[in-house]
Chains A and B, each alone.
Chain A
Amino acid sequence: QQQVKQSPQSLIVQKGGIPIINCAYENTAFDYFPWYQQFPGKGPALLIAIRPDVSEKKEGRFTISFNKSAKQFSLHIMDSQPGDSATYFCAASKYNYGQNFVFGPGTRLSVLP
């Protein structure tokens, strides 16, 4: 019940395309859903996060769509660029006097020039 599933495992798109990465969770107690971007040799960096009380959030070219009833959320990257090539992780957590994040397995995105 603590698992977060993520798909696809890898994704290749052309520059300007809109890659979509999907995540699904089981624990309805989760109340915070962030997405992280990780480049080789670096630690993950927070891209955007959403809470269950909203269905969509946009920050720049990144959009999270959230479907509470389906227990799914997805990341869309508009007008993707080669510099977006990285590994993307979704995560979920439940505030319980501190944090215990559960991460998806990651999606390796390649944006071709």
Chain B
Amino acid sequence: KAGVTQTPRYLIKTRGQQVTLSCSPISGHRSVSWYQQTPGQGLQFLFEYFSETQRNKGNFPGRFSGRQFSNSRSEMNVSTLELGDSALYLCASSLDSPGQGDEQYFGPGTRLTVT
């Protein structure tokens, strides 16, 4: 079974631009979560989608948004990029709820650099 895939793997943008990252979960997985990982703040939860609905959201500004499609693929968008948005963005998928016995599988991440 193929793992979680994320595209692109690397991205360089300038301040003020917007960016869209894509995540394809493991086949059959309906829950997709997004995380931001930085050396200073560590791993921070962005949001979780299940069956095209956002089920939970972390403490990030509204510039960070996401969506999930009917095939469970997910995208996250960051508008008006700031230098501090430079990070590794990780996507994780699970069958249903990752805390209720369903293991959460992470993708390799998208490394975003904002200049």
Contact = CB atoms under 8 A, between A and B. Distances in A.
A100 to B, nearest CB: 5
Contacts of B43: 44, 89, 91, 101, 103, 106
A31 B97 CA distance: 13
28 contacts: A32-B99, A32-B100, A36-B106, A43-B107, A43-B108, A44-B43, A46-B103, A46-B104, A89-B42, A89-B43, A95-B97, A96-B56, A97-B56, A98-B48, A99-B31, A99-B33, A99-B48, A99-B55, A99-B98, A99-B99, A100-B45, A100-B56, A100-B57, A100-B58, A103-B42, A103-B45, A105-B42, A106-B42
B21 interface: no
**B interface majority secondary structure:** strand
Interface of A: 31-32, 34, 36, 41-46, 89, 91, 93-106
Interface residues of B, number: 27
Contacts of B50: 98
A93 B57 CA distance: 13
Interface of B: 4, 31, 33, 35, 42-45, 48, 50, 55-58, 90, 92, 97-100, 103-109
Contacts of A97: 55-56
Contacts of A106: 42-43
List of 10 A-B pairs having minimum Cβ-Cβ separation, nearest first: A98-B55, A43-B106, A98-B56, A103-B43, A32-B99, A93-B99, A105-B42, A100-B56, A99-B99, A98-B48
